[in-house]
Structure 1
């Protein structure tokens, strides 16, 4: 079974012992219980593999019977989920509970501020139900946590700080502090999903390549007087990409006094040092959005509380170290252009869980931490990862060049993209995560 011991006297932690009874050989330790860590645990559970999540922060107390409605109409962070991500959550039976607070993307309009080129992606032309969904982070996190709490395959240890990771020929151990005590947990495999500044990555002595974009992403929710009609609008500027994406209304059904289809998620990029006024002055922020988007989104009527996040790229030199896998933002933190980051992380988690499940079904004594197989996973994911990283870098670099000739070339490129047959389906497939 899971072995959680106090490192001073090696007495077993009864809370972990009573959670579930499983063999150590069918057990994964996940460090980090954010969206990626919770999702990985559920993907492993779908394969019949047990896991223990060690999360630094304490989770809020929630239950399925809590009030499910949004408390604040204009106060929410959101994530754009690709079509492939929706398929993955559907496969493990989770999308049904998520979709009430998600809004599908039927089309995308792309242009440059002050430019002549425009391009459109339309679901009908590409023959798909949608390009993806925009979901409220609070609701997505709630559903992931509820599913983990209800699973017999997952043990959750929150408010715990990892301080060491050790490995030998047969297992890996994670040492962590909780409630003033030191504990140690053993398993064949450890997966680190503890974010851009990953402590696990540092303990494992994995180097990183970093790039500071000198930008801050401001995210929040706005309301316009023009219905979004499930269309996302992306504008490129010399500072960075700017986007408004469709959202469901206050309760997903329009019954709380709001009008269906007027609520949008906004991602606004500015230079470091400029964010304070955008965060604190609602009228200035609305006026800036109006200038950037013109009449495309209608009139910006209201803006909600906003958050600011410094943007940088972080790429781990390795994603497999012995019996440890580095995943999520700990492995690759990307620029938010085109909303590819989380979707790439989920495809990594899906690939690892499926590989472990398939191999274990062939051999009940299969070693989940087998280095050769973990290395094969790492190599198999490189094509998709490099493609997404290259795409994000290309877009950011090309649209950051203010040279008039470069701007002209970009706008010609948008026209070509919009008019030349055969280009849109390929780009759309990549954007939806269907080609990896």
Structure 2
């Protein structure tokens, strides 16, 4: 199929520049647009990448599954995102935090314990020269803030609603031909670099022939908002148990964000509980540290399966965010890690552009540098998340004293605590410049 010369959707409310389509005055067909970067997936990471690329003056396209309008509940739901300090720094630099309807809830301390074990650990941000470790933001609010920033971008080409169909052969060297489906039918767009940001079960990874390794934790996660008889005081609680974690994240609206894991075989019965029954179950799993549980909002359930791409690189294509790695939520590392994927890629493209008159965003050397730059952060974060999930959910009596000693050691060993705090702040490895405090950016 020939490359389409039709222009992308550009609704007046979006603020995106409209692009002319068609041919020249003498009837000659227009040259097809070649995107420097075409992002497949307009979720949290894909949208953040589009915003980060805007200042570079390159041609960027964003393929989004949903039409213009209020954020869709299936994309930006009531999950509660825990932004590490590094993430807050970056999103502030990108102008996204300023667009939030509410500032979110500060995390001033982190309290970790395990049911049945005697150890516990409490980390205070003030002890490490911070007023907070990060912020808790409702995913839907964050989605609305991203949309406001996207609407103000002048160079971005938005394809929405549109669906990725796969790749096609192209006569244009140095490009990938991407097949999309929209309201007008099928179209083909050209890109020097395709970024797969379409989530855990997205189509880009499969179209690139990239396999996965998966581990089913046999847990189902219930997510909702929770009100107690005490307003949150900035403490993020992680209560571990045989069936997984129960976490309370301090939101900015006098509610907690609740994450409650149950054994997969119990999920159907838990989903059938009425509000009172669900609150009783969670209270028993968590305890009374945050007070009496009074009410909760609608519950959403997610099966917990770790999905890791066998590789994140293909010819003129990379995977970022959940398309590259979907990890256990223990420690709230998922979005923070995916954002660092996106920002590292944007930074490397920026550096390559500054070093020459132009930049080929799909250059093999540039993409290899991206994979190398992400290797340490990705490995360490995956090891932390998966290792903690497996050890803390293991009911073995032999592990109980080791777990308790480990929790106590975090409080008493400065070197171990420093490692844990660095991870909580988002600095487990070298991070993109935008993640650093403003005074430490180059």
- Normalised by the length of structure 2, the TM-score is 0.87
Please state whether the residue corresponding to 2:137 is helix, strand or coil. Answer: strand
Q: How do 1:185-224 residues align onto structure 2 when only pairs under 5 Å count?
A: 185-224=189-228
Q: Say which of 321, 324, 327 aligns to 2:320.
A: 327
* Superposition map of 1:226-375 within 5 A: 226-249=230-253, 261=254, 263-280=255-272, 281-375=274-368
SS in 1 for 2:349: helix
* 1:257 aligned partner: none
Shift, 1:98, TM fit: 2.4
| TM-superposition CA deviations, 1:302-322 (whole Å, max 9, x none) | 111110001101111111101
Q: What are the equivalent positions in structure 2 for 1:166-181 lying under 5 Å apart?
A: 166=168, 169-181=173-185
Shift of 1:84: 0.6
Deviation at 1:108, TM superposition (A): 0.7
Change (3 A) 1:361 1:19: farther
Cα shift at 1:45: 0.8
Q: Which residue of 2 aligns with 1:182?
A: 186
State the Cα deviation string for residues 214-239 of structure 1 (Å, max 9, x = none).
11111000000022201011111011
- d(CA) in 1 for partners of 2:58, 2:87: 21
Query: 2:14: which partner in 1?
Result: none
Distance between the aligned counterparts of 1:216 and 1:165, measured in 2? 35
Match of 1:86 among 88, 96, 99: 88
Counterpart of 1:218 in 2: which secondary structure?
strand
Measured in 2, the distance between the counterparts of 1:177 and 1:277 equals 40
Picking from 16, 27, 50, the partner of 2:36 is 27
Q: Is the 8 A contact 1:77 1:219 kept in 2?
A: yes
Q: Does the 8 Å CA contact 2:99/2:149 hold for their aligned counterparts? A: no
**Contact 1:105 1:231 (8 Å CA) reproduced:** yes
Task: Quote the offset at 1:166 in angstroms.
Answer: 4.0
CA RMSD of aligned residues (A): 2.1
**8 Å contact kept, 1:80–1:132:** yes
1:399 shift after superposition? 1.2
1:25 touches 1:365 (CA, 8 Å); kept in 2? no
Query: How many Å apart are 1:61 and its aligned residue?
Result: 4.5
Tell me the distance in 1 between the aligned counterparts of 2:236 and 2:229. 15
Instruction: Report the alpha carbon displacement of residue 114 of structure 1 after superposing the two structures with TM.
Output: 1.9
Q: Which residue of 2 aligns with 1:47?
A: 56
Displacement of 1:292 in angstroms is: 1.9
Aligned CA distance change for structure 1 residues 165 and 372 (closer, same or farther; 3 Å): same
Give secondary structure in 1 for the equivalent of 2:426. Answer: coil
CA distance in 1: counterparts of 2:139 and 2:386, whole angstroms: 25
The question of 1:419 aligning with 2:418 is answered: no
Contiguous gaps of at least 5 residues in structure 1: 1-6, 63-74, 250-260
Structure 2: how far apart are the matches of 1:223 and 1:46?
41
What CA deviation, in whole Å up to 9, does each residue of 1:253-307 have, x standing for no partner? xxxxxxxx3x100000011132233334211111112112222010001111110
Q: Distance in 2 between matches of 1:146 and 1:327?
A: 22
Unmatched 5+ stretches in structure 2: 11-16, 21-30, 72-76, 430-442
Q: In structure 1, which of residues 125, 128, 142 is the aligned counterpart of residue 127 of structure 2?
A: 125
Structure 1 residues 173 and 278, CA, compared in 2 at 3 Å: closer, same or farther? same
Contact 2:5/2:32 (8 A) holds in 1: no
- SS in structure 1 at match of 2:113: strand
Q: Alpha carbons of 1:31 and 1:15: their partners in 2 closer, same or farther (altered >3 Å)?
A: closer
Partner of 1:76, secondary structure, is coil
**Quick check: 397-406 or 271-280, which moved more?**
271-280
Cα offsets for 1:186-221 (capped at 9, x unmatched): 121110101111211111111111111111111000
1:40-68 Cα deviation digits (max 9, x unpaired): 10011133333111122334347xxxxxx
**Secondary structure in 2 aligned to 1:338?**
coil
Of 179-188 and 30-39, deviating more is: 179-188
